[in-house]
Amino acid sequence: MTIAVLPEPRVQARLFGERHWRQLEQIGTVVRNEQDGPPQPAALRALVEGADFAITSWGCPPLTQDVLGPAPALQAVIHAAGTVKGLVTPALWERGIRVSSGYGQLGIGVAETALGLTIASLKNMWALTQSTRSGAWSPGKEKVRELYEVTVGVVGAGKAGSHYIRLLRNFQLDILLYDPFVSSERAAAMGAVKTELDDLLSKSDVVSIHAPSLPETHKMMNRERLALMKDDAILINTARGSIVDEQALVEELRKGRLFACLDVTDPEPPAADHPLRGLPNCILTPHIAGAVNNGVKRLGQFAIDEVKRLLAGEALEGEVRAEQLSTLA
């Protein structure tokens, strides 16, 4: 059993610690890319020759037929990162090679971050921190809310959105869901009520965006939809900056009507003089919701566990099929 690890050493070091390498070596022979820099097709051909499984991640190029040629026994490609759109090619599907993505593991961190932003924003912690730093003590406490008997709207029930909903179920609140690919029955099983986007926006105290970046979602949160949101509502975006019309959001925030927590912008980073940077009711974080430092090791463990699941004949946790690509980020 041969496992080819294709990312460059710098990326490997982020994904795998010593305990991860030991696990891989217990499964079979591990062939590692030892060349610095983005992997090149010729080097990948040599690495995958005779391999049963390939682990990919950030920086890996498309796996074309030319790259895959020396690997007639290759069963699966496990992508220890998010999107596989820049990796998969028709050659993979034609040869029946299975593909798995770690986007679900990234979604765990995203959902946890969204929950943290939800709690901190409802508690008005951001403003209270500033006022206490300046010598005050209680101004702003009247705006503190608990994660109790409020309505949270979730836009998108992919891996991150679904996990966010699971986390919210630990609290006594109402959850609304907008996702055109999720049925009312499925939403109810998750613990949410399926609704249309405009209805969700008008009823929610917190709106958390977890939709993919697709042509259909580009600037989905436009001027008209932002205007539907309740006064003092909180908008959280840990998905993609392109989903929000930032100019329209700036206009709403300048009215003092909404509060926003943005982990993503379009582009990233925003210009140094971008108005979002200076608005007191806007919290900006530099795209840290997913895996950043120690959390990246979760992706390495995911890749190992997927190989184990394949060998045990179990379902893959992150399997991606060709027909799913059009609706994935």
Q: Is 112 a catalytic residue?
A: no
- Catalytic-labelled residue, pool 49, 287, 298, 319: 287
| Catalytic-role residue among 25, 146, 196, 268 | 268
Active-site residue, 210 included: no
Rounded distance between C-alpha atoms, residue 128 and residue 131, angstroms? 5
Instruction: State the pairing for strand pair 206-209/193-194.
Output: unpaired
Q: Which helix (H) or strand (E) holds 53?
A: strand 53-56
Using the 8-state DSSP alphabet, how is residue 39 labeled?
P
Of the candidates 244, 213, 212, 240, the residue with the CA atom closest to the CA atom of residue 226? 244
The residue from 79, 240, 252, 309 that is catalytic is: 240
Give the tokens for residue 285: 């974080």
- Token pair in block for residue 49: 């020759």
Task: State the Cα–Cα distance between residues 212 and 197, nearest whole angstrom.
Answer: 15
Bridging pattern class, strands 234-237 and 206-209:
parallel
Active-site residue 268, yes or no?
yes
Which string of DSSP letters, residue by residue, matches 88-143?
A: --HHHHHTT-EEEETHHHHHHHHHHHHHHHHHHHHTTHHHHHHHHHTT--STTGGG
Residues recognised as catalytic? 240, 268, 287
